[in-house]
Every structure is written in C-alpha cells, then in structure tokens.
C-alpha cells in the first residue's frame, strides 16, 4: 500500500486545525463557556434590552404577557349576566314522527331521511329511531316533532324535544 492510502485524515485536515477533543484538552473550548458566563451576569428571568424591544415590551421580562383584558371593557353589562357563547359545532336538529309515547318522559321518534345511493344514484329512504326526552309528556303518537341533540340522558336517550311542529289528526 502507498503512504497516501494509510493516513487519509491527516491529509484532509489543514495544518493549523485540531480536532474537537484536542481543543478541549488544550482549554480552547472555553470560548463557548466565556459567552455563557457573560449571559449569566444578567438578572435571572430578565430578557436583554434588545430582546424586549424586539418583542415590543420594553421593561417586561421574557415569557410574561401584558394583560389587556380588564374589567373596564365589560362595565356596560349588568352584573350576573353571562355572555352567550356560540358553539363551534352546533347541535344537530332533526324532525320526525312520534312512533311511541308509552314511556314516562320518553318518546320514540322515527326520523326518515332521503339519501342518494352511493353506487346506483337512486334516492332511498333511511329511517332512524331516536329516543327523545319529553319532560312534560306532551307528545302523542303520530305527532310531527323537532328534536335536538344533547348530552347522554340514559343508555339510549341522546335527544330532547324542542317543539311539536304538528299534532296528530
């Protein structure tokens, strides 16, 4: 073998450069530590002046947020009144026919929807039975009612009665 093939690392590195391990052994790695020591002179938790100006909050430490939300903005509202929050995902509304009202405070509503068949394109009717909470027991069999989705009230009840659209004849 030739001498060029035996020491590829020595041939590639410049003459004045040393490896990282040698720099640590010689103490030249202290350059990075010196920079850290300069940053340690600032008070704990405080940002440097350049960072505070860049953030637009001169005089406030980094990480704190100025509180703009004060009670002055809500001075016009009467006390005790809670603002209505609109739901990001509104509750479902369905309209159907009451098929059974024999249970106490519960009615069974059949909701029929028309959907197009995925493959054939024909319109088909699909029906779903919903168990609806009827607090006043005002539903009768055959009534057309509007129901709204709600939290689980029992094992099967997830809907509540909103209104009776049309009474049975």
Give 32-52 pLDDT, tens digit per residue.
444 544 555 555 555 445 544
27 lies in the same domain as 72: yes
Q: What pLDDT is stored for residue 2 in this prediction? A: 53
Q: Is the pTM of this model over 0.75?
A: no
Q: What pLDDT is stored for residue 20 in this prediction? A: 53
106 lies in the same domain as 151: yes
The answer to whether residue 10 sits within a structural domain is no
Domain of 148 in residue numbering reads as 93-166
Beta carbons within 8 Å of 121's beta carbon, 6+ residues apart:
none
Q: What pLDDT is stored for residue 87 in this prediction? A: 77
CB 159 within 8 A of CB 133: yes
Q: How many CA atoms are closer than 13 Å to the CA of 151, on its beta-carbon side?
A: 0
Give the count of domains, the chain.
Answer: 2
132 lies in the same domain as 156: yes
The answer to whether residue 103 sits within a structural domain is yes
77 lies in the same domain as 110: no
74 lies in the same domain as 109: no
Which parts of the chain sit beneath pLDDT 50?
10, 23, 30-34, 36-37, 47-48, 51-56, 60, 64-73
Q: What pLDDT is stored for residue 80 in this prediction? A: 53
> What's the CATH number where 100 sits?
2.40.50.140
Average pLDDT, the chain: 73
In angstroms, the CA 139 to CA 104 distance is 11
The answer to whether residue 130 sits within a structural domain is yes
97 lies in the same domain as 156: yes
Q: What pLDDT is stored for residue 4 in this prediction? A: 54
Q: What pLDDT is stored for residue 26 in this prediction? A: 52
CB 98 within 8 A of CB 145: yes
The answer to whether residue 2 sits within a structural domain is no
């Amino acid at each position: 073998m030739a001498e060029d093939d035996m020491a590829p690392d020595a041939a590639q590195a410049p003459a004045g450069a040393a490896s990282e391990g040698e720099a640590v052994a010689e103490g030249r790695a202290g350059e990075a530590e010196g920079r850290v020591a300069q940053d340690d002179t600032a008070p704990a938790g405080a940002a440097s002046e350049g960072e505070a100006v860049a953030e637009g909050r001169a005089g406030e430490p980094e990480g704190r947020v100025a509180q703009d939300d004060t009670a002055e903005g809500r001075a016009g509202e009467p006390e005790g009144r809670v603002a209505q929050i609109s739901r990001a995902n509104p509750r479902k509304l369905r309209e159907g026919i009451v098929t059974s009202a024999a249970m106490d405070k519960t009615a069974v509503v059949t909701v029929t929807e028309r959907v197009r068949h995925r493959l054939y394109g024909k319109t088909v009717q699909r029906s779903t039975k919903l168990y609806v909470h009827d607090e006043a027991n005002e539903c009768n069999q055959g009534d057309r009612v509007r129901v709204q989705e709600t939290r689980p009230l029992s094992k099967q009840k997830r809907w509540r009665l909103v209104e009776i659209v049309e009474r049975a004849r």
